[in-house]
Amino acid sequence: MAMTRSENMRRIRSKNTSPEMVVRRLLHRLGYRYRLHRKDVPGKPDIVFLARRKAIFIHGCFWHQHSACREGRPPKSNGEYWQPKLARNQERDRRNQEALATLGWTVMVVWECEVNSEPSLAERLVHFLGPAAFSEH
């Protein structure tokens, strides 16, 4: 069992996840150009708009504990393992967003469950980013 769980955990990616790819394709269709996983930006956001000083994090509902989502519930078993692990993720998210805000950046979080509704996600993205004609370099 431990080998199976270990193997499952190893397969979970932090970059280029399915929800991230949905958001990236949508942004591109909407005419936005962006940078990915910039190490020189606090928290290494999934999507970065340098000239606009805007960053987007795409969070998995379970891993980042989305309180408004069924998937964001902590597991019922092995709570002594999961609770601290998931709490550390939330604390890191908070620190990263605060660091970006301190530097004058605006942050948007897109939850995994939100990528299922592209029309409303597109509306949120356009509202957050403004006109797409702004060139990113």
The DSSP secondary-structure symbol of 61 reads T
pLDDT of residue 15: 77
Stretch (H or E) spanning 55? strand 54-59
Burial (CB < 10 A; 0-12, 13-18, 19+), residue 99, is: middle
Paired strand residues for 54: 49, 106
pLDDT single digits (tens) 4-19: 655 655 555 567 899 9
Q: From residue 30, give the alpha-carbon distance in Å to each of 39, 82, 100.
A: 25, 38, 25
Q: From residue 110, give the alpha-carbon distance in Å to each of 20, 43, 84, 107.
A: 9, 15, 23, 10
pTM: 0.86
Mean pLDDT of the chain: 90
Cβ contact 69:111 at 8 Å: yes
Residues with Cβ within 8 Å of 18's Cβ and at least 6 positions away in sequence, in order, are: none
Closest C-alpha among 13, 96, 104, 101 to residue 60: 13
pLDDT of residue 12: 58
β-strand pairing of 106-111 with 54-59: parallel
User: Which residue stretches of the chain have pLDDT < 70?
Assistant: 1-14, 133-137
Q: Which fold has domain 2-123?
A: Endonuclease; Chain A (3.40.960)
Stretch (H or E) spanning 47? strand 47-49
**What are the extents of the domains in the chain?**
2-123
